[in-house]
């Protein structure tokens, strides 16, 4: 009996490309959940009963495209979602993770057992590239889901690239069937490092997808060198278990590689100038789904992230510890700041179910609930560090789901009032963990709760009052309104109720736009 030249095994489930094609035709899986499970099962069977090394490599290459389709569908279910992930989103992420891991095992096994076999000599560089590509794909899915990348996965990535560098294959161009451009292992490695340096936890879902697309397109413009200029630069250490970071020049380490982004930065600056001159993002190969203003803003962000020289923070962070209260959702924040339950005062005939029952039983509405102290549903978070305009916080345990750029209210220990903040970045320590980290930026001034409605007497306006906030009510700062998302229209007139006074105001400009709020400038027209 002649066994496989790859590993001693029983009869393989897929013996050649023809049987692989028959399996794909027979399965015809359109549901991505079932597709991921089927592919994982198939790769496990190939591991138990593999064909020859060359045939196995060919089969893996044939399966690559349908697996990628299933993975892209899974990624849409969890990428950029509020944290912690919902059960269905977490399950999708785990299915995606397991399929990436199954691919990594398969390619690494081929590398380990078949690297020196003469039959694999023509595809040796492709084996290295696919191994690196799958590890990079796994890490990028962690970044897409705002999950902490494990130290082990960073080690895999660095070790895989260090191996191809020693084999002198880092810049070997390999034909890519997806498009006309060829790929190199260095470009794959740089792709994930550039995306990690872009601080994906602080990007919206759209910004992350644009950054991922652009880093893949521009990865060939970045280079790795063994030394840096006198001032140091961005670097990666093959012996480390973290991504790229800024390193001072002269730092010892034979496994240290400095990242040269100068050509990339020149390309970004050129695109920014062309956008300012009126060019469209599509003309600059940024994609037709990216508006000019958003493209320019994100390019400036990436230019800062991919700059060698770290900039001094305007407000230095200082280590801090202690608990802080956090309130999420517009209604709860309004309750916390106002100290009372909001009454939209629509009509004397609009009653709650509880009020209707009170009228039926007592022939009147009980006032006890209105006069009792308002209870605020505040969560307890731990402060890790803080600055003059922000906080880094951590929560262990169940709590509200939070989205990128969501409005929250924070009250540090000992403070008498909540301050308005928005969530600038989020990270979850693995879907199996309940530990969440967050960065929050404080809005200027102390907020006051108010109410808004469309200006009465103006066609199409009027109706119920809705919660909003005025800030800051302090000397030297122009007042703003924080309103629910969608309320802003340039020149729109609104009635504003603040404490016992009512004003007519006109909305002038959007100062800041978040996930569920807009901070807008306004002008008071009249007071009452």
Half-sphere exposure of 278 (CA within 13 A, CB side): 0
Domain finish residue from 442, 461, 495: 442
Contact 185, 128 (CB under 8 A): yes
Here the tokens at position 262 are 């100068």
Backbone angles phi, psi at 339, to 5 degrees: 80, 5
Domain finish residue from 394, 423, 442: 442
Are 330 and 474 part of one and the same domain?
no
Q: SS3 for 430?
A: coil
Cα–Cα distance list, 10 to 5, 7, 22, 46, 120 (Å): 12, 10, 20, 10, 22
Residue 58 belongs to some domain of the structure = yes
Residue 19 belongs to some domain of the structure = yes
Domain finish residue from 146, 172, 190: 190
Contact 425, 199 (CB under 8 A): yes
Are 459 and 432 part of one and the same domain?
no
> Which alpha helices (H) appear in 79-121, and where do they start and end?
87-114
Are 521 and 424 part of one and the same domain?
no
Are 42 and 140 part of one and the same domain?
yes
Residue 468: give its domain's CATH number. 2.40.10
Are 458 and 435 part of one and the same domain?
no
Residue 323 belongs to some domain of the structure = yes
Q: SS3 for 387?
A: strand
Cα–Cα distance list, 269 to 261, 282, 465 (Å): 12, 16, 46
> Which alpha helices (H) appear in 29-86, and where do they start and end?
32-48, 53-78
pLDDT value at residue 10: 55
Residue 278 belongs to some domain of the structure = no
Residues in the chain: 528
Are 455 and 431 part of one and the same domain?
no
pTM, to two decimals: 0.88
474: containing domain: 448-527
Domain count for the chain, please give it.
3
Are 401 and 333 part of one and the same domain?
yes
DSSP secondary structure letters along 235-251: EEETT-SS--EEE-TT-
Here the tokens at position 403 are 């989205």
Are 25 and 135 part of one and the same domain?
yes
Are 469 and 324 part of one and the same domain?
no
Are 388 and 514 part of one and the same domain?
no
Residue 279 belongs to some domain of the structure = no
Are 48 and 185 part of one and the same domain?
yes
pLDDT tens, residue order, the chain (528 aa): 344 444 444 566 788 888 888 888 887 777 889 999 999 999 998 888 888 889 999 999 999 999 999 999 999 999 999 999 999 999 999 999 999 999 999 999 999 888 888 888 888 999 999 999 999 999 999 999 999 999 999 999 999 999 999 999 999 888 876 655 788 999 999 999 999 999 999 999 999 999 999 999 999 999 998 877 667 789 999 999 999 998 887 777 788 999 999 999 999 999 999 999 999 999 999 999 999 999 999 999 999 999 866 665 656 677 777 889 999 989 899 999 988 877 665 444 455 565 556 555 655 544 444 444 567 788 999 999 888 788 999 998 888 999 999 999 999 887 888 999 999 999 999 888 889 999 999 998 889 999 999 887 766 566 788 999 998 766 667 889 999 999 999 999 999 998 888 889 999 999 999 999 999 999 988 765
Residue 287 belongs to some domain of the structure = no
- Kind plus residue range of the DSSP H or E element containing 200: none
Contact 438, 425 (CB under 8 A): yes
Beta pairing, strands 466-471 & 448-454: antiparallel
pLDDT value at residue 310: 67
Q: SS3 for 171?
A: coil
The string over 88-108, giving b where at least 16 C-beta atoms fall within 10 Å of a residue's C-beta and e elsewhere, is ebbbbbbbbbebbbbbbebbb
Are 437 and 464 part of one and the same domain?
no
Residue 406: give its domain's CATH number. 2.40.10.220
How open is the CA angle 8-9-14, to the nearest 5 degrees? 125
Residue 214 belongs to some domain of the structure = no
Cα–Cα distance list, 302 to 211, 217, 243, 265 (Å): 8, 14, 17, 9
Question: Rounded distance, CA 240 to CA 156, Å?
Answer: 10
Residue 206 belongs to some domain of the structure = no
DSSP secondary structure letters along 319-367: E--SEEEEEESHHHHHHHHHSS-------TT---HHHHHHHHHHSS---
């Amino acid at each position: 009996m002649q066994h496989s030249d790859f590993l001693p095994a029983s009869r393989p489930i897929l013996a050649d490309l023809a049987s692989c094609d028959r399996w794909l035709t027979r399965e015809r899986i359109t549901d991505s959940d079932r597709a991921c499970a089927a592919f994982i099962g198939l790769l496990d069977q190939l591991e138990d009963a593999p064909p020859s090394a060359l045939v196995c490599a060919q089969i893996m290459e044939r399966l690559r495209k349908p697996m990628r389709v299933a993975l892209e569908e899974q990624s849409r279910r969890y990428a950029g979602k509020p944290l912690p992930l919902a059960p269905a989103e977490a399950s999708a992420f785990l299915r995606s993770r397991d399929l990436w891991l199954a691919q990594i095992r398969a390619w690494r096994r081929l590398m380990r057992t078949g690297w020196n076999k003469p039959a694999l000599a023509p595809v040796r560089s492709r084996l290295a590239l696919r191994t690196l590509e799958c590890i990079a794909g796994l890490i990028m899915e962690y970044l897409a889901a705002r999950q902490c990348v494990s130290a082990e996965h960073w080690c895999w990535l660095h070790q895989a690239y260090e191996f191809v560098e020693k084999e002198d294959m880092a810049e070997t161009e390999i034909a890519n069937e997806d498009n006309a451009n060829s790929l190199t292992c260095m470009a794959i490695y740089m792709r994930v490092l550039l995306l990690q340096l872009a601080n994906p936890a602080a990007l919206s879902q759209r910004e992350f997808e644009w950054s991922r697309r652009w880093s893949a397109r521009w990865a060939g413009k970045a280079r790795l060198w063994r030394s840096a200029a006198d001032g140091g630069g961005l670097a990666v250490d093959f012996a480390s278990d973290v991504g790229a970071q800024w390193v001072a020049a002269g730092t010892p380490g034979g496994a240290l590689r400095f990242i040269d982004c100068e050509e990339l930065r020149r390309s970004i600056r050129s695109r920014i100038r062309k956008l300012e001159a009126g060019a469209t993002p599509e003309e600059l190969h940024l994609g037709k789904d990216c508006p000019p203003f958003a493209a320019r803003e994100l390019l400036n962000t990436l230019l800062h992230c991919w700059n060698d020289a770290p900039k001094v923070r305007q407000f230095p962070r200082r280590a801090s510890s202690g608990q802080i209260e956090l309130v999420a959702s517009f209604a709860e924040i309004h309750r916390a700041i106002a100290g009372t339950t909001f009454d939209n005062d629509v009509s004397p005939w609009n009653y709650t179910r509880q009020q209707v029952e009170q009228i039926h039983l007592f022939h009147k509405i009980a006032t006890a609930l209105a006069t009792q102290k308002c209870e605020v549903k505040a969560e307890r978070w731990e402060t890790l560090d803080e600055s003059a305009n922000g906080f880094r916080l951590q929560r262990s345990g169940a709590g509200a789901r939070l989205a990128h750029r969501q409005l929250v209210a924070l009250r540090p220990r000992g403070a008498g009032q909540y301050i308005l903040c928005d969530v600038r970045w989020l990270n979850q320590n693995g879907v199996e963990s309940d530990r969440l980290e967050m960065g929050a930026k404080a809005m200027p001034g102390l907020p006051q709760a108010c109410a808004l409605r469309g200006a009465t007497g103006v066609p199409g306006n009027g109706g119920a009052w809705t919660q909003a906030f005025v800030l800051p009510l302090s000397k030297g700062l122009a007042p703003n309104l924080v309103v629910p998302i969608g309320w802003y229209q340039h020149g729109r007139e609104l009635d504003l109720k603040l404490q016992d006074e009512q004003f007519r105001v006109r909305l002038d400009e959007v100062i800041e736009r978040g996930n569920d709020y807009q901070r807008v400038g306004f002008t008071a027209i009249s007071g009452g």
